[in-house]
Structure 1
Amino acid sequence: MTLFTGTAVAITTPFKDGAVDYATFERHVEFLITNGMQSIFVNGTTGEGSTLNEEEKLNLVKLAVRVAAGRVPIVVGTGSNNTAASIEHSLKVKAAGADAIMLITPYYNKTNQRGLIAHFTAIADAVELPVVLYNVPARTNMTIEPETVVKLAAHPHIVALKDATGDMRYLEQVRAAVSDEFALYSGNDDSIIPFYARGGDGVISVVANAVPAEFQAIYETYATDPQEAERLFNQVSPLIDALGVDVNPMPIKALVTALGYANGEVRLPLVPLEQADSAAIHQAYKTYKGEVS
C-alpha cells in the first residue's frame, strides 16, 4: 500500500512555559491539512520527539488524529534503539488511532544489517501497522543498505522508506530493486527535484511547516511540467538554505513561531536560535512570499 504521494510534513511541537501547547498544535495541524499536506508525521526529529514524555506523545497523536478526522494519514515516530520499547510504545500509538509508524535505525548501540532486519521485522510483526523505515545516517551513523531495504520491503507491513541520505545513487539502487507499491520519500527538502526525477513518491518535509501549499504545488507540477516545477523549487530554495543555518528543528521552530504556530521554545539540549539567524530566516520567508520587509 502507498500511504500517500506528494508532500507530507514533519510537524513541529509547540511549547509554552515548558509544557506542550496543544491548542497551537491543533491550529497548526488544521493549517497544514487545509493547505494541501498529504500526511502529518508526529513526534519525529522535527517534533522534538526525543524530549517528549509518553503522555505528551500520546496526547499529540490523539489530537492529530482527531483534527485530521480521516482526511490524511497520521504517521508517528516510534523508533528507538530498544526494540522492546519501540514495540510497547507503537502498540499504544496504534490504540491512540495512528495510521502508521515511522522507525528510525537504531543509534548509539548500533547493529548490523542482520540486526536491522530482525529489529524492524519484530516491530512490524507485533504492531501490524504500516511501517515507514527511516534512513538518516547523518544522525544515527547507521544506514539501511539497499539489499536490506529489499528484504524488508517483502514484509506485508513495511511499506515505505524515508530516505535522508541525499545520495541519488542509493535511491536509484533501491527504486530499481523494490516494487512500485513500496513508496520512497525524500527526507531532504533541498533535493526533491532529482529525487522525483528518479521515481520518488514524495517528501517528508520540514519547510512545509511554513509553506505547505507551495511545496505540494512543486510535487503536483512536476508530474506534468518538470521544468516549471524546478522553477518553483528555485524560488523556495533560498528559504530552505536559510533553514540550514543550524541544527533542525531549531531554525524551523523560529520560523513557525513568527507565523504563530510555536512560542519560541525548544527543549534542551536544543536552544533557540541567535537573533540574527532568526531574522535572516524571517527575511528569507518574506522575500519568498513577496512581502515587503
Structure 2
Amino acid sequence: MTRLFTGAAAAVTTPFIKDRIDYDSFKNHLTYLKNNSIQAFVVNGTTGESATLTHKEKATLLSIAIDVADGDIPVIAGTGSNNTADSIHYSKEAEKLGVDGLLVITPYYNKTSQKGLVAHFGAIADSVSIPVILYDVPARTGMTIAPETLGVLAKQHKNIVGLKDATGDLSHLNRLQYVVDDSFSFYSGNDDLALPFYSLGGHGLISVLANALPKEYQDMYEMAQRLPKRAAQISHKLFPLVDALNVDVNPIPIKLLISHLGFGEYSLRLPLVPLEKMAQDVLLELFEHTRKDG
C-alpha cells in the first residue's frame, strides 16, 4: 500500500524579521530538513503560526516548500479552521498550488458535535481530490474525534487517508485502529510518545523538535522497525530536550532552536512572545548537549 509518508515529518516553523516573513531563511531551513532525512514538510500548521499568517503569506510559503521538495518528499498544507467554508477555500487553493496532501484540524472555539465533525471534514474532503489527514489535538481545540466518527469518515471519503493523533492517549489509538483498514495511516503529534506510538503500529510522526533534529527523529523511526533497543536509546537521548520544550507554548521554544541553527531571527508574531533570557540559555545549553551526545 502507498502512504503519503512514513517516518518523521516536520511541522515547519515560519521565520520572521520584525513581523515580516523571512522567506530566504524559510527556504534554507527546508533545504536543511530535506538534506537531513525529513520525510515530509507540513506547512502552515500550529508550529508555523498559521493563525497569524495572511492568505498571501500562506500561499507563498507553500510555493517555496513545493519548490524545495521538488517531488522528492510530500508537502502537506495545514488548511483547517473553525470555519468550514474558509477551510474549503484554503484547501482548494493549496491543491491548485500543487501540494501533496492536507492537514485539517478539528474546529476550535465554536467546536461542534461528532455529527458536525462528519459534515465538516466530509465537506472539505469532497472539495478536493488529494489526500487529507485529520488532526486531533484536544488540548488546543477542546474536542476529540471519536472512533465511530473516524470510522464513518474513512469509509465515506476515500481521500481521508490518515490521522495526526495528538491526544496523548495510546489507548485511544488502539480504539481508532479498530475502525479503519490497514491502508489508513496514523501519525503521532506528540514527540514524547513517538516510540510507543510506533510500537502500536503508528506509521510516523509530525514533529516539532524534528525542525532542529530531523535525522535523529528519522533514525528513531527506522530503528523502531529493525532494532527496538537502538530506537529506545535514541528516544532516551532526545527526551530531556523534548520535555524542556514544555517551558512555554509551542512554537515559542522550538523557534529559539531554529534561530540558533542559523535559520532566521528569534522572532514571533503576537500574541506569542520570546522566552526570557535565562530560559533561553538553559534550553540552548540542553540542545547543544543533546547534539554532542549523538
- TM-score (structure 2 length as normaliser): 0.97
Give the AA of the match of 2:127. Answer: A
Distance, in Å, in 2 between the alignment partners of 1:133 and 1:89 is: 15
- Asked if structure 2 preserves the Cα contact closer than 8 Å seen for 1:253 and 1:262, the reply is no
Q: Structure 2: 5+ residue runs without aligned partners?
A: none
- Matching of residues 141-180 of structure 1 within 5 Å: 141-154=142-155, 155-180=157-182
TM-superposed deviation, 1:177: 2.4
TM-superposed deviation, 1:176: 2.5
Distance, in Å, in 1 between the alignment partners of 2:129 and 2:83 is: 18
- Asked if structure 2 preserves the Cα contact closer than 8 Å seen for 1:130 and 1:158, the reply is yes
Residue 285 of structure 2 aligns to a residue in which SS? Answer: helix
Distance, in Å, in 2 between the alignment partners of 1:285 and 1:180 is: 37
Residue 116 of structure 2 aligns to a residue in which SS? Answer: helix
Give the AA of the match of 2:35. Answer: T
- Matching of residues 202-281 of structure 1 within 5 Å: 202-281=204-283
Residue 177 of structure 2 aligns to a residue in which SS? Answer: helix
Residue 290 of structure 1 aligns to a residue in which SS? Answer: helix
Give the aligned CA root-mean-square deviation in angstroms: 0.9
Matched residue, 2:28: 27
Residue 127 of structure 1 aligns to a residue in which SS? Answer: coil
Is 1:282 equivalent to 2:284 in the alignment? yes
TM-superposed deviation, 1:89: 1.3
Matched residue, 2:75: 74
TM-superposed deviation, 1:149: 0.9
Distance, in Å, in 2 between the alignment partners of 1:135 and 1:283 is: 33
Matched residue, 1:44: 45
Distance, in Å, in 1 between the alignment partners of 2:291 and 2:109 is: 41
Distance, in Å, in 2 between the alignment partners of 1:65 and 1:161 is: 22
Distance, in Å, in 2 between the alignment partners of 1:222 and 1:99 is: 26
- Asked if structure 2 preserves the Cα contact closer than 8 Å seen for 1:8 and 1:205, the reply is yes
TM-superposed deviation, 1:190: 0.3
Give the AA of the match of 1:248. Answer: N
Give the AA of the match of 2:234. Answer: L
Give the AA of the match of 2:134. Answer: L
Q: Percent identity?
A: 50
TM-superposed deviation, 1:74: 0.2
TM-superposed deviation, 1:223: 0.6
- TM-score (structure 1 length as normaliser): 0.98
- Asked if structure 2 preserves the Cα contact closer than 8 Å seen for 1:13 and 1:262, the reply is no
Distance, in Å, in 2 between the alignment partners of 1:93 and 1:123 is: 12
Distance, in Å, in 2 between the alignment partners of 1:261 and 1:150 is: 41
- Asked if structure 2 preserves the Cα contact closer than 8 Å seen for 1:255 and 1:278, the reply is no
Give the AA of the match of 2:239. Answer: S
TM-superposed deviation, 1:198: 0.6
Distance, in Å, in 2 between the alignment partners of 1:264 and 1:212 is: 20
Distance, in Å, in 1 between the alignment partners of 2:182 and 2:35 is: 28
TM-superposed deviation, 1:242: 1.2
Residue 107 of structure 2 aligns to a residue in which SS? Answer: coil
Aligned pair count reads: 291
Q: Structure 1: 5+ residue runs without aligned partners?
A: none
Distance, in Å, in 2 between the alignment partners of 1:116 and 1:10 is: 23
Residue 144 of structure 2 aligns to a residue in which SS? Answer: coil
TM-superposed deviation, 1:279: 1.1
TM-superposed deviation, 1:284: 0.9
